[in-house]
Chains A and B, each alone.
Chain A
Amino acid sequence: MPSTRANPQEDVSPPPDTDPQEYYKHLSLFWTDLLYLMSSKPQALSSTGPMRTMASNSKRVASEIIEINEDLAGFGTHLATYYKQLADTWTEAQRKVNLKAPDLPQDPEHFEAYKRIWIDIFDNDFTELFDSEEFGANYGKMVSKELEMAKHWNNMADVVLKTANLPNRHELDEVYRELHSLRRRVAEMEGALRRRRGNGRKSK
């Protein structure tokens, strides 16, 4: 990100025509990268144990935090749309109920009828919302942003687990995959054995 200012030392605010988020992201990455490079050699000499990788870990965690904030903003937008869709549908459904059941006498029979109308209209309107392309599209994007945040969280947890010399999610997935493959091979061998025994019984 080249600077367009005449004297950048005098101003730390984002240059004009630059996305502030991008600018501060760049600024943060620049300094964490540079500090990491500057400190790596003295740090290697002086640090031991889990602290050995502190600089690279903090760089990783810092970038995950920056990115998680971006996704959080996106998630917030879709979440607001989600609640707006629910609120709008509620208002519209209540308006329909009011039109349909304006002034019923307050006795058990009419109360029951009012309740039935209310539930039917609300169920219909909300089902229509959940079935709509707009709801589906926003819901899909909201879940996608939520998953991005979960990914960053997982990545940060991986850093911590690695520091404690514990297996991380990626390594456990490898174990699960290997186990799945082994179980599959055992099942296939058992099946072949069973078929061979069955053929043996038939030939006798």
Chain B
Amino acid sequence: MAGRASDTGLIDELVRFGSNVARAPDMVPAPDEVDLEVTPHQVAHTIDKVRLLHYEGAGEVTHRTPIVIAYALINRYHILDIQPAKSWVRNLLDQGYDVYMVDWGTPSNMDRYLGFDDYVNVYLDSCIESVCDEASVDSVTLQGYCTGGTLATVYAALHPDKVRNFVATAPVIDGWKDTTVVSNLSKHVEVDKLVDTVGNMPPEFMYYCFSVLKPFEQGIEKYIRFFKNIDNEKFVDNFLRVEKWLSDTPPIPGELFREWIKNIYQKNLLVNNKMRVGGRVVNLRRIKMPVFTQVAVGDHLVSPECSMPLHYAVSSPDKTLRLYPTGHVGMIASGLSQKMVLPEMGSWLSKKSD
């Protein structure tokens, strides 16, 4: 682009951009000042640092079977309730569902020996039992997102009697088929040495993994777009909420991380029905309840090839696989999720939730 006289329009554009950057601090709150709590909720149950949140809907609950959402281990649950117009939780409440969410909390050094067994057979089980008691039901609809989808899959295989319906949203299932950068790094890391030396996986390591995902789109273009749209209140509000959510990731307990990398990414035991949790083999063929698998075609964190094998591994006679033209976050917190993903999920669940 060198050697030509600059267009006045381009100079105007640059001046406007500079002005937006200068005005930004006066026009928008700092990410720290943004409150991510959107839908009112009660803490229905706690166990160690794990909390079970029970959301309060404006309308009536019309489906008897409650939905328990197992959020991922990376970042926090707020993305599923990021803002009223894009809230996964609020949409389900509006469809007449009773919604609970598992907040895994922030592990400290004391929690470094927590593994799959603790997360699945103690924490998730305790939350589901608590919901069953509160709602007077024998089983729930379990939904798991991302790594939470993996924990939920293991739970559904080990405790099928407590799961009436299972919704897996971008779950990590077949580590060898995952084509993402995260998977490549996971295969080369000496996980035993890593965990023995640093204990819990620190957030900085997670940030490194995120930084290698579309680094220029996410590291440059995104912020240019933010400053260009500084006068657009809706855009700015959504941007700040997502940014704050992205920057808040708790450490991952060391043992859980070790099992995750070894058993799923390096040895690929889960999809081959060879993974052991709490002394028991996790056999995906034991999942016989209705299963709904949601996959995003443009997912660069958990590739579709990694999630889809769940659909073929379970022995449920009633199973549905849906692919959506969006990304990992777009599937749960976007206009598309409100218009397409959630209505389809709600409609699939409605006849199975009474």
Contacts and interface: CB of A to CB of B under 8 A. Distances in A.
Interface of A: 101, 103-108, 110-111, 114-115, 118-119, 122-123, 126-127, 130-132, 135-137, 139-140, 143-144, 147-148, 150-151, 154, 172-173, 176-177, 179-180, 183-184, 187-188, 191, 194, 198
Given A108-B13, A123-B217, A187-B126, A140 B189 contact: yes
Contact of A131 (B109, B129, B181, B221): B181
Nearest to A179: B110
Contacts of B21: none
B197 interface: yes
B194 A127 contact: no
Given A130-B212, A140-B188, A144-B190, A177 B1 contact: no
A147 B190 contact: yes
18 contacts: A104-B1, A106-B6, A106-B7, A126-B212, A130-B212, A131-B179, A136-B184, A136-B187, A143-B189, A147-B190, A148-B193, A176-B109, A180-B113, A183-B48, A188-B122, A191-B122, A191-B129, A194-B129
Please list the 8 inter-chain residue pairs (A to B) with the smallest Cβ-Cβ separation, ordered nearest first: A140-B188, A107-B7, A180-B113, A136-B188, A130-B181, A122-B216, A106-B6, A147-B197
Contacts of A140: 185, 188-190
Contacts of A183: 48
B146 to A, nearest CB: 20
Contacts of A127: 181, 213-214
Range of interface residues on B (Cβ < 8 Å): 35 or more
Contact of B4 (A105, A137, A176): A105
B9 interface: yes
A36 B344 CA distance: 75
A103 B4 contact: yes
A183 B125 CA distance: 15
Contacts, number: 108
A114 B314 CA distance: 47
A184 to B, nearest CB: 7
A204 B214 CA distance: 60
Nearest to B183: A131
A108 B1 contact: no
A161 to B, nearest CB: 15
A147 B196 CA distance: 9
Contacts of A126: 212, 215-216
B188 A137 contact: yes
